[in-house]
Structure 1
């Protein structure tokens, strides 16, 4: 089984390879938790509660590469869906979830939008274009796998695949406290729909760039702290051999 690598370039420093990067809420949580290392793993729950109550948002601009053949922005579908059909739409999305497993047909499909031999963040084909989202965000995150764990049994994105050549860019816009709590509760729920909110943007893309406009800009990069006001991230397909069985974890 092949695994995608997420290459992140901090404009002012260096290039690193990771599977999950998060900014805003999750960056604040990892920063706050460093003050309470003596608490052990419980420090994350304590720090998370403090950061949630603080409810800070950050002004930023995110540009992402849209591939026409793989367009999966949830926003327009939610906007065009009435409240009485929202539940039906959620059930439909659940039924379409295909977990990534060994010999996954989706990962075997040839991708025409990206190549490991093309490290540039320029559009890959005539069917691709760069789109921007600018405003205040509670959280910005990107993952190339579902990242399942005990606090998110389905992961950040239930149908993420190991080697389809895409990352899942998740933008949580500024919203009321209660709304963000609903999102977090859905994330912690089995078969939940954490992306089914009007303030959540979900983009399936091979690359994105980020620019923050505040004084602080801390990223949680696979559990490590990194400070960067600008970065670019790109997926390179099938660079690592992964020996595993069962669904991606």
Structure 2
């Protein structure tokens, strides 16, 4: 039957019906449905001569990832079909909160014996559902976002991450979701450490791709980001939209992306479904990156955290428990609490409140594509056009100065300038806060909300706020107090525990000088050289598919 406008039915929808049709169910031609499409909803009502309770289904187009039309396998059947795929938030069984659950709605169209006409009508419905679903993305009061053109994505999977289930989860869940959303993609299985970094740095023709999707823990994304920023065309490369699908044991960025979407906390495969849904919706946001300088090597770029002390120890020492998945961090925390270590060192930082450009973003005229990009490059960290930023002075050539420290010599590497950071062998500027030499239990710099799936370390963090959330715990805290702190962090309540040894500051740059001879420093969960380190945030430098 040709779609037509439905009679007014103001009790079931808030916007006018733009398309109406009556179809049969797939697999049961005796069941008939009246289907109404508004700008915001797909409304399905079973048609029956007798009253049927609760026979209306309302599905929000914000939850729709795609719709397609097709012919059946029986060539003698003139009917056509259209199916729409939704992932609405539903209450979880026997637990609080909600999670996204797949809903598939399909209908059979057989108005005429002409199969071409029926397929044309099915395609009209599928196209209308997709178009109205896409329009919902712009009816938000959140940060400026743009819709990713759905052409082709490269999806990199680390088959060894987490419990080693990333590839099987791709096959069982993600491949189907991307097909439903009509997202073309090519699967690349990484074979070794730094495989992805070398691929995106040396071999990848970015013009062939619209996004790079990482299905792993946080380590693989670390490789990809640094590979992009090591390219000669880094200014263009770092605009490539990235996406994260949780396939590891930490999955901190994936948990952060889910948190930023406003949904209640989830974990494991529910988190994968949520991130898969956001990927299919294809909305691109800015994401801060932090450049981290090491004493005897070039800088690295970080999207998540820098850690020294307790957090870094747990992260690395819990690798032996990787087979238990995210629970490895709980086990590692208990083990490390049993023999708590203290580290001596000096900390300094530039408070955000003292940064003259604290409210000025790394601007673009649009997100996709960006017509003009900016990077922090003057003395105050304010943006200036990128054409001036290629003369960066931030790589290091190792020499020995008179005081025995390594000196940074400008080498003009790729990437934006770090104008807030002096050389590591020079004093910090006078407007920095210097914490005198102190014994620390931990120092943690966060720029996303989550440290792990179940650790909400920086609850008021945002994806592109230009802030580093600096936490440090001074020596003297008891094991019980530290345990309470991490238990409270599961709900993001650790800052309200009144722990006298915990300090939190919002900063733009920092320097850490360990004085203890042994220890672990991690960047995004990856071990880096142990020694003096400093870092600066670059607001909105990268692009991330989020919701």
Give the TM-score, by structure 1 length: 0.72
Aligned residue pairs, count: 203
Indicate the residue corresponding to 1:87 in structure 2. Answer: none
1:68-83 correspondence runs (5 A) = 68=353
SS of the aligned residue for 1:180 comes to helix
Q: 2:309 aligns with which of 24, 27, 33?
A: 24
Distance 1:49 1:9, change over 3 A: same
Distance 1:44 1:16, change over 3 A: same
Q: 2:513 aligns with which of 211, 218, 231?
A: 211
CA distance in 1, matches of 2:324, 2:493: 31
> Any stretches of 5+ residues in structure 2 without a counterpart?
1-284, 362-375, 384-388, 390-416, 423-429
SS of the aligned residue for 1:243 comes to strand
Distance 1:194 1:238, change over 3 A: same
CA distance in 2, matches of 1:110, 1:224: 31
Distance 1:137 1:38, change over 3 A: same
8 Å contact 1:195–1:202 — kept in the other structure? no
8 Å contact 1:114–1:206 — kept in the other structure? no
Q: 1:11 aligns with which of 274, 295, 319?
A: 295
> Any stretches of 5+ residues in structure 1 without a counterpart?
71-106
- Between Structure 1 and Structure 2, whose CA radius of gyration is higher? 2
Say if 2:479 is the partner of 1:188: no
Residues 50-93 of structure 1, C-alpha deviations (whole Å, 9 max, x = no match) = 111111110111110124357xxxxxxxxxxxxxxxxxxxxxxx
CA distance in 2, matches of 1:204, 1:137: 19
Q: CA deviation at 1:40?
A: 5.1
Distance 1:192 1:58, change over 3 A: closer
Q: CA deviation at 1:10?
A: 0.5
Indicate the residue corresponding to 1:162 in structure 2. Answer: 463
Q: CA deviation at 1:156?
A: 0.8
Distance 1:26 1:194, change over 3 A: farther
Distance 1:192 1:34, change over 3 A: closer
8 Å contact 1:8–1:231 — kept in the other structure? yes
SS of the aligned residue for 1:50 comes to helix
8 Å contact 1:114–1:165 — kept in the other structure? no
CA distance in 1, matches of 2:493, 2:293: 34
CA distance in 2, matches of 1:67, 1:224: 26
Q: 1:140 aligns with which of 438, 443, 451?
A: 443
SS of the aligned residue for 2:312 comes to helix
Indicate the residue corresponding to 1:110 in structure 2. Answer: 360
CA distance in 2, matches of 1:237, 1:40: 32
CA distance in 1, matches of 2:330, 2:469: 25
Indicate the residue corresponding to 1:66 in structure 2. Answer: 351
8 Å contact 1:115–1:237 — kept in the other structure? no
Whose relative contact order is higher, 1 or 2, with alpha carbons under 8 Å and at least 6 apart? Answer: 1
CA distance in 2, matches of 1:157, 1:195: 14
CA distance in 1, matches of 2:329, 2:541: 32
CA distance in 2, matches of 1:211, 1:229: 7
Distance 1:11 1:173, change over 3 A: same
Distance 1:195 1:2, change over 3 A: farther
Q: CA deviation at 1:192?
A: 5.2
Indicate the residue corresponding to 2:337 in structure 1. Answer: 52
Q: CA deviation at 1:22?
A: 1.3
